[in-house]
Amino acid sequence: MGMISLIWGILSLLWMLLALVPLLGWGNWFMIPFAAVGAILAIIAIATGKGRVTGIIGLLLCIVAIGIGSLRLMLGGGIL
């Protein structure tokens, strides 16, 4: 479960980097829920103790992706 959240976090970060490109900011609307699911998976992995280290890293990656994606949407006028 921890490895899945780590992979999910890496994919959400890559998606977030793609959404930073001008005219592709709409991708943040899909990336934020995607990263939220990865964060939930990471919390489950941490709570069960299976893949604790990878779960923590996956959680951090997902939180960074959600934070930067939300900031990008706020700056672009997507979230008021």
What confidence score (pLDDT) does residue 35 get?
A: 95
* pLDDT tens digits for range 2-45: 899 999 999 999 999 998 888 888 888 999 999 999 999 999 99
Distance CA 9, CA 62 (A): 5
pTM: 0.88
pLDDT band at 80; cut points 50, 70, 90: low
Query: Would you say 78 and 25 are in contact if contact means Cβ atoms under 8 Å apart?
Result: yes
* pLDDT tens digits for range 38-78: 999 999 999 998 888 999 999 999 999 999 999 988 887 76
